[in-house]
Amino acid sequence: MPDKITRKAEKAVFIQQKLEELYPSTPIPLDHKDPYTLLVAVLLSAQCTDARVNTVTPALFDLADNPGDMVKVEVDQIREIIKPCGLSPRKSKAIWGLSEILLDKHDGEVPQSFEDLEALPGVGHKTASVVMSQAFGVPAFPVDTHIHRLASRWKLTQGKNVVQTERDLKKLFDKSVWNKLHLQIIFFGREYCPARGHDPLQCPICQVVGCKKGM
């Protein structure tokens, strides 16, 4: 059994090195072809798995894969297609509404700023962070419930919410690795560090950095 690492800064170094070893390549798990289709896919992924989103978006994007075509589609039709993703009444209105705003205010293009993205219907800070980092290469650290859970489990943060956790993780890790690291953490959580049925002694990270009780 390896010696436990207790200092937060040392944990961060070990975690980054281990994740880079396990996941040197980080393909974006949501199928898309441009910033607009990524934006829609990320919006659909709220409280839904990436795998399910990827089964739904082909039919939606065959119908409309740009704002101009999307506003020609009835909201009810969008809702029927995306129903398997959950929250379809709200998400369908958001997709149609943001498409209209992109046409009216941004020449049909996805804006490259947090402020403009977060002003769009259905787009919160996490969604904007994913688009900024993965579509435009702007350093961001999107923190969803999975990353929040792992950061708490590894005692990298005492944050009570994703906002506090994002702030703590940004302090611990260099800006140059944020975009890749957030995906690496997600991949690791799915493969080695699930919310349930987790064995810290078999986890490549928890066995070294420890594991918060109850996590």
Tell me the domain boundaries of the chain: 8-27+141-209, 35-134
For 118-170, what is each residue's pLDDT tens digit? 999 999 999 999 999 999 999 999 998 889 999 999 999 999 999 999 999 99
Catalytic residue among 91, 126, 155, 212: 126
Tally of CA atoms within 13 A in the half-sphere of 127 that contains its CB: 28
Residue 5 is predicted with a pLDDT of 76
Catalytic residue among 11, 65, 144, 168: 144
Using CA atoms, how far residue 73 sits from 69, 76, 104, 153, 186, in Å, is 7, 8, 17, 44, 34
Percent of the chain with pLDDT over 70: 97
Q: How confident is the model at residue 211 (pLDDT cuts 50, 70, 90)?
A: confident
**69 catalytically annotated:** no
Q: How confident is the model at residue 215 (pLDDT cuts 50, 70, 90)?
A: low
Q: Which CATH number fits domain 35-134: 2.60.120.10, 1.20.1530.20, 1.10.340.30, 3.40.190.290?
A: 1.10.340.30
For 37-77, what is each residue's pLDDT tens digit? 999 999 999 999 999 999 999 999 999 999 999 999 999 99
Mean pLDDT for 88-110 is 98
Residue 30 has pLDDT above 80, yes or no: yes
C-beta pairs of 149-154 under 8 Å, 24+ apart in sequence: 149/189, 149/195, 149/215, 150/185, 150/188, 150/189, 150/193, 151/185, 152/212, 152/215, 153/193, 153/206, 153/211, 153/212, 153/215, 154/11, 154/15, 154/205, 154/206, 154/209, 154/210, 154/211, 154/212
Residue 162 is predicted with a pLDDT of 93
Mean pLDDT for 191-209 is 92
**126 catalytically annotated:** yes
The mean predicted confidence, pLDDT, of the chain is 94
Residue 3 is predicted with a pLDDT of 61
Residue 2 has pLDDT above 80, yes or no: no
Which of 214 and 185 is assigned the larger pLDDT? 185
Look at 29-33, 57-61, 134-138, 198-202 and tell me which has the smallest mean pLDDT: 198-202
Q: Which CATH number fits domain 8-27+141-209: 3.30.450.20, 3.40.50.300, 2.60.40.10, 1.10.1670.10?
A: 1.10.1670.10
